[in-house]
Amino acid sequence: MEQTIFKHMETVRGITEKSINRIPEEISDIIPEGFNNSIRWNFGHIAFVQEKLVFGISGEAMKVPMNYEHFFGAGTKPADWTETLPSFTEIASVLSEQKPRIKTFLHGRLDQKLPSPFINRSGITFHTTGEAFLFGFYHEAMHMETIKRIYRSISFK
């Protein structure tokens, strides 16, 4: 079952990577009416949250750039950005680089208990590395749908 889960990760992340490489960076910071965040924020948020769900809450060192939490963590928004943002190329690299690290780290550990249960902002409690990791698929898909909606909104103006 573990290999099936990792194959699913490759599929989900492949969709994300294909999208970030297809969307023009020039439109990535537009926030259309009715949206809270930009395309860049959503891609960076996917990278940051997956890193946190796999490594951070397991007590492992997170390897995304230090400023990702400031830019893309839960509750952040582009309106608060004052520093230079990571480029699409950098975010795409982080997204791609996560896959082999996740597979290596989680191999044989999906049922491993977290150091302490983690409760996300929606109130969902995770007890194992696998529970948190699997939630990441839902989270990534949800933000990919938002990216698609923002892109369509910008493209049809």
**What is d(CA 108, CA 129) in angstroms, rounded to the nearest whole number?**
10
C-alpha distance from residue 151 to each of 21, 69, 121, 127, 144 (Å):
13, 24, 26, 36, 10
pTM of the model: 0.95
What CATH number should be reported for the domain whose range is 2-23+41-155? 1.20.120
Domains of the chain: which residue ranges? 2-23+41-155
One digit per residue, the tens of pLDDT, for the chain of length 157 reads 889 999 999 999 999 999 999 999 999 999 999 999 999 999 999 999 999 999 999 999 999 999 999 999 999 999 999 999 999 999 999 999 999 999 999 999 999 999 999 999 889 999 999 999 999 999 999 999 999 999 999 976 5
Q: Which of 67, 30, 64 is nearest to 147 (CA)?
A: 30
pLDDT for res 2:
87
Q: Is 32 exposed, middle or buried (0-12, 13-18, 19+ CB in 10 A)?
A: middle
pLDDT for res 155:
76
